[in-house]
Amino acid sequence: MTSIAKPPVVHPGLQRNALGLTKRDYEGFMSTLCAGCGHDSVTAAIVQCFFELDVPPHRAAKMSGIGCSSKTTAYFLKPSHGFNTVHGRMPAVATGANAANQTLTYIGISGDGDTLSIGLGQFCHTIRRNVNMLYVLENNGVYGLTKGQFSASADVGSKSKRGEANAQQPIDPVQLALTLGATFVARAFSGDKAQLVPLLKAGLLHKGFALIDVISPCVTFNDHEGSTKSYRFTREHAHEVSAVGLVPLKREISAPEPDASGMISVTMHDGSTVRFRSVNDAYDPTDRDAAIGHVRAFQKRGEVVTGLLYIAEGSPDMHEQNHTVSGALTDVPYEALCPGSAALDALQEEYR
Amino acid sequence: MSGINDFAFKMGTVNGTGSASANSLLMQAIFRMGIPVSGKNVFPSNIQGLPTWYEIRVSADGYTARPEALDLVVAMNPSTYARDVAAVRPGGYLLYDSSWPMDDELDRDGITVLGVPLGKMCVESFTGDRERTLLRNIAYVGVLAALLDMDMDVIGEMLREKFSKKKSLLDANFRAIGLGLDYAKANFTCPLPFKLQRMNATTDHILIEGNAASALGCVYAGATVGAWYPITPATSLMESFKEFCQRFRVDKATGEKKFCIVQAEDELAAAGIVIGAGWAGARAFTPTAGPGISLMQEFVGLAYYTEIPAVFFDVQRTGPSTGMPTRTQQADLFSLAYASHGDTKHIVLFPANPEECFYLAVQAFDLAERFQTPVFVALDLDIGMNDWMCRRLTWDDAYRPDRGKVLGAEELEKIKKFSRYLDVDGDGIAARTLPGVHPKGAYFTRGSGHDKHGAYTEDSDDYREVMDRLAHKLATAALAVPAPEIIRTPGAEAGIVSLGGCHAAVQEAVHRLAAQGIGLDYMRVRAFPFGREVAEFLESHERCFVVEQNRDAQLRSLLTIETGVPRDRMTSVLDYGGLPLTAGYVVHAVTSHLAGVSA
């Protein structure tokens, strides 16, 4: 993860957002991933998402574990605090950071090895706690940095670069999250930015844990014939069930009026609205059981279902469950935390 | 021992039967009579049905170490009659529940056996199995009140406090006490030759366990985030923190909490949560025990290398592995001092009792933030879970947390460029920033190799520069951690060194040895890395006894490694059976060694 800074050149004609910042202000260091890596597309989509949502970069916190995907937090939002933690344990660190300061915008980047093997427990429990964060799982079915071992998301029969077929059942993060009670579950394809950017935005605005499983092919170790996580396979087998049209509060007027038929609107925590256009049948992303059934049905056919699969706004996040004071705990002055000497004296009467 | 206000007794009961409250009632009553008292709970890792003991030592001189000899044993559990009979000192007393007759074979010459049909009396006087079981314990309190001449007004006062809202329970408890008291007075010569007599030695004291005192320290230090995974014997630390926070940190009008406690899925996550919270600027901590410390090692290395404040309480229990979870030990010293892979070294504090737990807990947060590094507070089960008589805790309202070098928005606005790991002041401590404060403060925190600016590196010189500064930082910390407590004896012929929960026994041993004409200078180590005073003490004594509760002489090894004083100048006194140390054990070890040397 060498840090190669990008040249600080900004074209005067670059579009500026409400904060007067250009997209360049949301970029990071140069990526050191392989050319064509799906993760770089995700990085670009994240840059666009934060830029368009007018998030002040220094008010965002980028959390990651270890692996190719986790490296990417260095490649976007340079003016944000980033934390590249230990393998599989980003969810705990994100939980702690959020516990201390819930006013930041948390984005966690992980991979299939980081999330579904070494970090499976932490991933599950962070969903249980409903920590308010966007969790992007860049899923390519292999361990890249250690050169091509199968990960836990590899499908049965999917072939490694050496031709070996995977025999073990995959762990599907989407089905897992749905059964664990996640309040926002989506799947996307790194090759489809038009779908990914609105999903990222909706995930960021969601109050609670938002999972986006992004099929993000590994060009070096898992993009060959016989792999079910290749660009070609994903393009041929991806089926979008619901497309997202995000209508941020601030931009309500400029948003295009969607077609009224089959539309579902969900009001997000900040007042903006997410509208779903059901692409497939009459897909209802507010029905968890139906979502699980849908995902399983597609999986049986060997197809990959994408789009916003499930959303439940209004579920209490970790702090709402805890009844924590609003604002950051780090902003509570010490004087309001320490009971003082008189209280200590009084308390000790009970210890006699 | 064995006189007025100078004796020890223990109760052998079945766990899960409510004997714990009877035993604390006894201890508290003695304390309220103004007499110094200490209690040691010797309990099984079990919920209900196994043998458990509670030892109470009464000491007019204020000694609180575990007693060596028992003047009286209360045998309430037929399955341990044999052990309990054997535990009585020659000339002592055995009190047992004669509802379950004792095998004649267990009879022992030289002790007095007192049988009281407690079970039978309770069956006759009360209804319901649970009530009968619970009150049988209160009934033996009544017997002891008569035998030891306990102040019945004090007991009455305590029962009224405890059951102020449950009149029926209050009455039942009074009746149960009366059953025991009356039986003893009618059948035995009361009081026994050793007995209680009111004193005025506990007015400025409290009875508190170290876990509660530590939790209170966390509250007063301003900790807002606590993460944990339940583990014996650390559990009551977080439960106490929660209780104190419910009391002091909940907005009365809104019900909003000025704290966030996360019960994590395991100790790995608990450590990660603490590190995340510390990174974001909160004072955060986790209580755990040895197995948890093992699981946290990877994260500890991350906090050390990325320089994030974090406080860990290790309430040590008997290892290795699951070991004996309800027994005490000091065998995590190596695991703490150099926790994690790679070159690491950590600040470790060693409180000797609950009183010191309170103050060192506060200091742990100050040190963690000042040095931006993990700090361990090493308790043990004896300190953590037993009620100790301590001086009342005091608090200076002028205290403000030492947040260390944290650059705020105004300072960041003024500087040209922020470099996270740059040693500006020459003390090894670089300034840090918190997320969300200012765009100029942003940096990338990484456990991978980084240079002084925080950038990724694989360059040998850049890597070494940071590692050398970290070593320098910990050397600076050695000067700031609590100094050892040194008590000199004029004409001392050797030194004695110890730490943590051994203190009570070692202090008493030093007094006893002095009375035998063996003078020892005593140093109680209070922190790692060791300050200069520690090395000086060792260097200035030809021979030092090093008393600790582990098999491998871990403290002695640390002293050798860190001070360079040869190992063979230190004689180990090791006690690692899992029970609190006794003064007699230390006295015996020292005198045996000296006798061997002179022979």
- How does DSSP assign B528-549, residue by residue? ES--HHHHHHHHT-S-EEEEES
**pLDDT recorded at residue A282:** 67
A100 contacts on B by Cβ (under 8 Å): 224-225, 260, 276-278, 280-282, 284
Q: Does B427 score more than 70 pLDDT?
A: yes
Q: Indicate which CATH number applies to the domain containing B505.
A: 3.40.50.920
CB–CB of B257 and A343 under 8 A?
A: no
Q: Are residues B217 and B325 in the same domain?
A: yes
Q: Are residues B575 and B472 in the same domain?
A: no
Q: Does B267 score more than 90 pLDDT?
A: yes
Whether A273 contacts chain B with CB within 8 A:
no
**pLDDT recorded at residue B9:** 98
**ipTM of the complex as predicted:** 0.96
Residue B499 Ramachandran class (φ > 0 left, ψ -120 to 50 alpha, else beta)? beta
Whether A30 contacts chain B with CB within 8 A:
no
Size of interface A-B (CB pairs under 8 A): 229
Number of structural domains, chain B? 4
Q: What is the largest CA-CA distance in chain B?
A: 88
Least confident of A227-236, B191-200, B203-212: A227-236
- Using the 3D structure, point to which of B480, B504, B531 is the last residue of a domain: B480
**pLDDT recorded at residue A251:** 36
Apex CA B516: angle with CA B511 and CA B517, to 5°? 95
Report if residue B499 sits inside a domain.
Answer: yes
**pLDDT recorded at residue A297:** 87
Closest CB from B222, B444, B447 relative to A86: B447
Q: Indicate which CATH number applies to the domain containing B321.
A: 3.40.50.970
Whether A61 contacts chain B with CB within 8 A:
yes
**pLDDT recorded at residue A240:** 83
Least confident of A46-55, A216-225, B84-93, B115-124: A216-225
- Using the 3D structure, point to which of B460, B480, B500 is the last residue of a domain: B480
The SS3 call for residue B374 is strand
**pLDDT recorded at residue A215:** 94
Q: Which ranges of A53-89 would DSSP assign to H, the alpha helix?
A: 68-71
Q: What DSSP assignment string belongs to B139-189?
A: HHHHHHHHHHT--HHHHHHHHHHHTTT-HHHHHHHHHHHHHHHHHHHHHS-
CB–CB of B279 and A352 under 8 A?
A: no
Q: Are residues B462 and B492 in the same domain?
A: no
Instruction: Report which listed range, A283-287, B18-22, B103-107, B265-269, is most confident.
Output: B265-269
Q: Does B203 score more than 60 pLDDT?
A: yes
**DSSP code, position B3:** B
What's the CA gap between A55 and B115, in Å, rounded? 78
Residues of chain A with pLDDT under 50: 1, 249-262
CB–CB of A96 and B274 under 8 A?
A: yes
Place domain A23-336 in its CATH homologous superfamily: Thiamin diphosphate (ThDP)-binding fold, Pyr/PP domains (3.40.50.970)
**pLDDT recorded at residue A250:** 41
Smallest Cα distance from A114 to chain B, Å? 14
Report if residue B508 sits inside a domain.
Answer: yes
Q: Are residues B447 and B417 in the same domain?
A: yes
A4 contacts on B by Cβ (under 8 Å): none
CB–CB of B272 and A337 under 8 A?
A: no
What's the CA gap between A160 and A221, in Å, rounded? 7
A326 contacts on B by Cβ (under 8 Å): 256
Q: Are residues B385 and B421 in the same domain?
A: no
**pLDDT recorded at residue A209:** 98
**pLDDT recorded at residue A258:** 43
Domain locations along chain A: 23-336
Closest CB from A1, A99, A339 relative to B225: A99
- Using the 3D structure, point to which of B458, B480, B502 is the last residue of a domain: B480
What's the CA gap between B384 and A352, in Å, rounded? 18
Q: Are residues B104 and B28 in the same domain?
A: yes
What's the CA gap between A179 and A160, in Å, rounded? 29
**pLDDT recorded at residue A252:** 34
Determine the residue of chain A that is closest to B259 in CA distance. A324
For the record, the structure tokens of A295 come out as: 């995902």
Chain A, residues 94-113, CB within 8 A of chain B, namely: 94-101, 103-104
Q: Are residues B583 and B539 in the same domain?
A: yes
**pLDDT recorded at residue A301:** 83
**pLDDT recorded at residue A255:** 32
**What would the mean pLDDT of B414-437 be, rounded to a whole number?**
96
Q: Are residues B130 and B22 in the same domain?
A: yes
Q: Are residues B382 and B267 in the same domain?
A: yes
Q: Does B418 score more than 80 pLDDT?
A: yes
**What would the mean pLDDT of B9-20 be, rounded to a whole number?**
93
Determine the residue of chain A that is closest to B453 in CA distance. A3
Smallest Cα distance from B383 to chain A, Å? 16
B25 contacts on A by Cβ (under 8 Å): none
What's the CA gap between A216 and A126, in Å, rounded? 23
**What would the mean pLDDT of B129-156 be, rounded to a whole number?**
96
B357 contacts on A by Cβ (under 8 Å): none
CB–CB of A338 and B399 under 8 A?
A: yes
Nearest alpha carbon to residue B292 among B352, B349, B230: B230
What does the mean pLDDT of chain B come to?
96
Q: Are residues B263 and B352 in the same domain?
A: yes
Strands A133-139 and B527-528: unpaired
Q: Are residues B325 and B277 in the same domain?
A: yes
CB–CB of A58 and B441 under 8 A?
A: yes
What percentage of residues in chain B have a pLDDT greater than 70? 99
Report if residue B193 sits inside a domain.
Answer: no
Q: Which ranges of chain A would DSSP assign to H, the alpha helix?
A: 38-52, 68-71, 90-100, 112-113, 120-129, 173-180, 193-205, 231-237, 288-300, 318-322, 340-348
**What would the mean pLDDT of B51-67 be, rounded to a whole number?**
97
Residue B19 is part of which domain span? 6-187
Q: Are residues B476 and B494 in the same domain?
A: no
**pLDDT recorded at residue A83:** 98
Handedness of CA A230, A236, A241, A245 (dihedral sign): positive
Q: Give the tens place of pLDDT for each residue, B386-403.
A: 999 999 999 999 999 999
CB–CB of B456 and A2 under 8 A?
A: yes
Determine the residue of chain B that is closest to A103 in CA distance. B436
**pLDDT recorded at residue A254:** 30
